């Protein structure tokens, strides 16, 4: 039997098991947790399984009741992922994968499969802002020729919890606190960090959520992950484990936290608008689907359990193989009919794709049907066009609210002697992998799930110095919002198991003078090789394509220069948006009108990836007295953006204390130099400036 360590927290006595999970023990004056029927609960941390690593059992009435109630808590918006935006497109298969799977979508090179994709934030309501620090949902519905396949993932490859029975708890903790109804779409409050600090298994995910991954610049510039380990089954039901990864063709990019806060104020629909504008302009976003394929021998040799959803397989160990491309090329005709009513469910897989015994995946497979019934009000939600298969289908399901179709004729059952209706097909139909379960029924985590710190440390050490600084700043910001000092101290204890200098930096910023002891670890953390694939900045985009430059102009500027810049950006696959003192635009020196998309007050530099100041000396002098114009320049500089400027813009630069030659990120702009400016912008940011501004 594993040894248990006890820890007293407030009025509770908690025991820590081998997996680091916390258990409540009986104590005078402390209520016993029960089911809604009043039955005492022995274990609220683990769902009932066959063996430590086996499948979750449907007879677990406590888990069933807990998830049933959680799935039905909200109407009409989703309990999680309420803030979402979707688009139609297609998936093109590169080459057949017959060696690994009989899934029809992977049988023919060049196969085109219609898709619907929904991006989302997790914690906020439908009305929250796009740039919250949060996980992003990345859900893809493939309308394959053998039924719908829903790959329901996130932009982060790991998750907070190991067992689905804890899902209501993590979401309850991150949502607005129930007595006050705030904060909205934020994790910077006591309830969230109280839960996290008592849940060591969350430490890897916390490093990701505190990183720049949680504030992406655009849906188009973020990765997606299936999170769990799945199985591919070939024609003979031979199994190959698989992890699914989406790689954006435009590369990865995030924003700075100060920038995200200001974007939320200037345009809370920033991500939605970005996707809408790109597709409307014909600049169709594209990702490659990549697979990490491995067998049981690799799974047995891996340092971590492939069934643990808080862990990933570094790309340096198993290189992702591109197998197809996803292109989004059409927006919904009606947001509610499609984006709001689309129903994703992890259990929707075609023949040839199957599940592992990942306990979080098992719980999601069980839970999602309940969620759709509650949200959409009827078991007939597949009659809604966005949810309906696009392949032939036939069954005997009938009646119910909003039934749009019913079986025709006399027969609505099977077997029948009339020779009517559909029949099962053992060869074409879905077959589950025959994994023999082992072990007794029990509620516990396997020992192989017990290392909660090593991959968190690997992730942190794999970041560049800039990214590490952002993680530390995010932790300080979030923990500073907690009212209870004990929560901050518990988190510092966890951080000491991840990286000592990180813990010391955060503690110093929070005013914690004496470091606590490191948190008890069920398994002592080990040093893993750094994984450059985990860093955004170590994997820069190949071009400036898909980005935007904001050009601040005034009357009297050279129209030819503005046009040259627009042409240079268009050649790169980027675009120019003009900002002027008046929304009508500005009158160029040759008398032509240059239209503007934004006024200075409504087009702050946070909306752009780089900026250009195309001004006359007189125009710059006037704008130097405008607060919004000064903020446009000072924010662009503070956010490490490249700034092109004409000689006439000097007065505006100097008004905010910036010398025109302050660093290599300030580039003179004149006829003939626009292409050079665009080429420089491929670096996205001048991070050396951040180090100079904040040593």
Q: Are 253 and 122 in contact (CB under 8 A)?
A: no
Report the alpha-carbon distance of residue 447 to residue 436 in Å, rounded. 20
Residue of 81, 228, 452, 598 marked catalytic: 81
Q: Is 433 a residue of the active site? A: no
Report the alpha-carbon distance of residue 462 to residue 531 in Å, rounded. 5
Write phi, then psi, for 295 (nearest 5 degrees): -105, -175
H helix intervals, 613-695 = 617-624, 627-638, 650-655, 674-681, 687-693
Neighbours of 560 (CB within 10 A): 13
Residue found by looking up tokens 């029975």 in the block: 165
| C-alpha distance from residue 363 to each of 47, 57, 66, 153, 228 (Å) | 9, 10, 11, 15, 12
**Cα 203 → chain centroid:** 17
Report the alpha-carbon distance of residue 554 to residue 90 in Å, rounded. 43
Report the alpha-carbon distance of residue 117 to residue 327 in Å, rounded. 10
Q: Is 81 a residue of the active site? A: yes
Give the pair of three-digit tokens for residue 582: 């008046």
Q: Residue 182: is it exposed, middle or buried by C-beta count within 10 angstroms (0-12/13-18/19+)?
A: exposed
Give the pair of three-digit tokens for residue 216: 């992406």
Q: Are 242 and 153 in contact (CB under 8 A)?
A: no
Q: Which of 375, 377, 318, 313 is closest to 344 using CA atoms?
A: 375
| C-alpha distance from residue 317 to each of 32, 292, 294, 314, 526 (Å) | 46, 10, 10, 5, 17
Give the pair of three-digit tokens for residue 426: 């053992």
Residue of 46, 62, 148, 154 marked catalytic: 154
Angle between helices 359-376 and 61-71 (to 10 degrees): 40
Give the pair of three-digit tokens for residue 671: 């006829």
Contacts for 342 with CB less than 8 Å, ≥ 6 apart? 86, 116, 118, 141, 386, 387
Report the alpha-carbon distance of residue 472 to residue 505 in Å, rounded. 7
Neighbours of 558 (CB within 10 A): 18
DSSP string, 445-476: --GGG---SHHHHHHHHTS-HHHHHHHHHHHH
Q: Are 270 and 85 in contact (CB under 8 A)?
A: no
Report the alpha-carbon distance of residue 553 to residue 581 in Å, rounded. 8
Beta bridge partners, 136, equal 121
Mapped onto helix, strand or coil, the DSSP state of residue 300 is helix
Residue found by looking up tokens 């899902």 in the block: 167
Residues in the chain: 695
Strands 575-580 and 353-355: unpaired
Contacts for 568 with CB less than 8 Å, ≥ 6 apart? 674, 675, 677, 678
Q: Are 292 and 237 in contact (CB under 8 A)?
A: no
Strands 84-93 and 321-330: antiparallel
Strands 12-16 and 136-144: unpaired
Q: Find the angle CA(86)-CA(129)-CA(468) to the nearest 5 degrees.
A: 100
Write phi, then psi, for 466 (nearest 5 degrees): -60, -45
Q: Which of 97, 171, 94, 169 is closest to 134 using CA atoms?
A: 171
Q: Which positions are annotated as active-site residues?
A: 81, 154
């Amino acid at each position: 039997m594993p040894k248990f360590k006890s820890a007293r927290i407030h009025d509770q006595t908690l025991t820590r098991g081998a997996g680091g999970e916390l258990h409540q023990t009986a104590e005078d004056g402390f209520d016993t947790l029960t089911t809604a029927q009043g039955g005492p609960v022995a274990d609220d941390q683990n769902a009932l399984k066959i063996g430590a690593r086996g499948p979750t059992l449907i007879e677990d009435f406590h888990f069933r009741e807990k998830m049933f109630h959680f799935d039905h808590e909200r109407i009409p918006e989703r309990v999680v992922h309420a803030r979402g935006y979707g688009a139609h497109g297609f998936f093109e298969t590169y080459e057949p994968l017959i060696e690994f799977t009989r899934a029809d979508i992977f049988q023919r090179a060049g196969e085109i499969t219609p898709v619907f994709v929904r991006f989302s934030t997790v914690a906020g309501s439908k009305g929250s802002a796009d740039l919250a620090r949060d996980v992003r949902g990345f859900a893809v519905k493939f309308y394959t020729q053998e039924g719908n396949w829903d790959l329901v993932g996130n932009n982060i490859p790991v998750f907070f919890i190991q067992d689905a029975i804890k899902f209501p708890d993590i979401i309850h903790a991150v949502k607005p606190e129930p007595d006050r109804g705030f904060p909205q779409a934020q994790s910077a409050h006591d309830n969230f960090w109280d839960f996290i600090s008592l849940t060591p298994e969350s430490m890897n995910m916390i490093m990701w959520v505190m990183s720049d991954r949680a504030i992406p610049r655009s849906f188009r510039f973020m990765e997606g992950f299936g999170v769990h380990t799945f199985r591919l089954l070939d024609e003979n039901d031979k199994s190959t484990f698989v992890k699914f990864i989406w790689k954006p063709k435009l590369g990865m990019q995030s924003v700075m936290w100060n920038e995200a806060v200001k974007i939320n104020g200037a345009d809370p629909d920033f991500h939605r608008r970005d996707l809408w504008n790109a597709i409307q302009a014909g600049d169709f976003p594209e990702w490659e689907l990549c697979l990490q394929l491995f067998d049981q021998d690799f799974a047995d040799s891996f340092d971590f359990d492939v069934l643990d959803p808080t862990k990933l397989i570094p790309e340096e160990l198993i290189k992702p193989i591109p197998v197809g491309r996803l292109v989004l090329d059409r927006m919904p005709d009606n947001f509610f009919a499609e984006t709001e009513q689309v129903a994703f469910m992890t259990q929707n897989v075609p023949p040839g794709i199957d599940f592992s015994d990942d306990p979080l995946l098992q719980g999601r497979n069980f839970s999602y049907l309940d969620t759709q019934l509650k949200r959409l009000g009827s078991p007939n939600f597949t009659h809604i066009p966005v949810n309906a298969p696009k392949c032939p289908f036939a069954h005997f399901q009938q009646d119910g609210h909003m039934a749009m179709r019913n079986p025709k004729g006399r027969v609505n059952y099977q077997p029948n002697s009339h020779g009517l209706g559909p029949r099962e097909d053992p060869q074409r139909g879905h077959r589950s992998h025959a994994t023999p379960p082992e072990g007794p029924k029990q509620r516990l985590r396997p020992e192989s799930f017990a290392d909660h710190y090593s991959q968190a440390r690997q992730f942190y050490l794999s970041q560049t110095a800039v990214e590490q600084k952002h993680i530390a700043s995010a932790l300080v910001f979030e923990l500073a919002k907690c009212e209870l000092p004990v929560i901050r101290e518990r988190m510092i204890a966890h951080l000491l198991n991840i990286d000592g200098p990180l813990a010391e930096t955060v503690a110093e910023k929070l005013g914690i003078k004496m470091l606590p002891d490191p948190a008890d670890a069920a398994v002592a953390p080990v040093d893993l090789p750094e994984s450059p694939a985990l860093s955004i900045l170590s994997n820069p985009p190949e071009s400036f394509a898909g980005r935007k430059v904001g050009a601040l102009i005034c009357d009297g500027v050279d129209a030819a220069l503005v046009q040259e810049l627009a042409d240079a950006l268009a050649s790169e696959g980027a675009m120019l948006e003009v900002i002027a003192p008046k929304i009508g635009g500005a009158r160029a020196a040759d008398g032509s009108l240059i239209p503007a998309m934004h006024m200075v007050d409504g087009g702050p530099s946070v909306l752009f990836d780089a900026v250009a100041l195309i001004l006359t000396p007189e125009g710059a002098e006037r704008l130097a007295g405008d607060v919004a114009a000064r903020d446009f320049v000072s924010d662009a500089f503070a956010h490490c953006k490249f700034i092109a400027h004409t000689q006439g813009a000097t007065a505006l630069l100097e008004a905010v204390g910036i010398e025109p030659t302050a660093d290599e990120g300030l580039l003179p702009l004149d006829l003939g130099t626009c292409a050079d400016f665009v080429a420089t912008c491929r670096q996205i940011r001048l991070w050396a400036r951040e180090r100079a501004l904040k040593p």
